């Protein structure tokens, strides 16, 4: 995966698992900042303020500002928050927060049992949500003659998508493409139109 893209959760998700009578509720969400991750954790803690534990972990990377945290919330140290974080890390997710709420069912799970229960719940949250690859985008303006429309559309489909079309004395397209592909895309356009195109970066 290149530096202009990252993986995160597709959407909010909630799962329920039971281990030896203890109920584990897993919540996951894609987030845009550490503040948003903390807000989500607080919200789940508020909803389940009667729970035995609300264990959480997040991993954030916004423009190379990296933040990560995990919290056992009273479970034995290293048995819960860290396993959730490890699942996020293993799936190579960023800008992701997961909270696992536990209602104790009367049977102690032991250290290994807790690690498995929290890991499995976090994995189920990710499976339920699905993984989304997010690309950084660049925007270009293309100006060309009507005779070049089909060629330009065909090449544009390969590299990104046309977000605006303007037809007057010339054709003007606004394009959204994956960051890092600008040079390759520009060369293709110049070659196919025999340089009968103007390209501007936005």
**Per-residue model confidence as pLDDT tens digits over 37-66:** 999 999 999 999 999 999 999 999 987 789
Query: Could you give the CA distance from residue 122 to residue 27 in angstroms, rounded to a whole number?
Result: 8
| CATH code of the domain containing 107 | 3.30.230.30
Q: Please name which of 16, 20, 23 lies closest in space to residue 109, comparing C-alpha atoms.
A: 20
pTM: 0.75
pLDDT 10s digits, 144-191: 999 999 999 999 988 889 999 999 999 999 999 888 888 999 999 999
| CATH code of the domain containing 191 | 3.30.70.240
Which among 103, 134, 165 is the end of a domain?
134
- Judge if 127 and 176 occupy the same domain: no
- Judge if 18 and 113 occupy the same domain: yes
């Amino acid at each position: 995966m290149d530096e202009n893209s990252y993986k995160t959760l597709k959407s909010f998700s909630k799962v329920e698992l039971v281990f030896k009578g203890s109920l584990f509720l897993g919540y996951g969400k894609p987030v845009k900042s550490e503040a948003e991750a903390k807000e989500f954790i607080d919200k789940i803690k508020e909803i389940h303020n009667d729970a035995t534990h609300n264990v959480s972990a997040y991993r954030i990377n916004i423009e190379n500002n990296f933040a990560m945290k995990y919290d056992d919330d009273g479970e034995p140290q290293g048995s819960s928050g860290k396993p959730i974080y490890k699942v996020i890390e293993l799936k190579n997710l960023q800008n992701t927060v997961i909270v696992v709420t536990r209602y104790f069912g009367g049977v102690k799970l032991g250290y290994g049992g807790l690690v498995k229960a929290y890991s499995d719940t976090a994995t189920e949250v990710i499976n339920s949500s699905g993984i989304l690859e997010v690309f950084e985008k660049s925007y270009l303006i293309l100006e060309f003659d009507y005779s070049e429309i089909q060629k330009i559309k065909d090449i544009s489909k390969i590299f990104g998508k046309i977000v605006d079309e303007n037809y007057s004395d010339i054709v003007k397209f606004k394009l959204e493409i994956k960051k890092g592909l600008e040079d390759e895309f520009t060369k293709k356009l110049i070659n196919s139109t025999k340089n009968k195109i103007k390209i501007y970066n936005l």
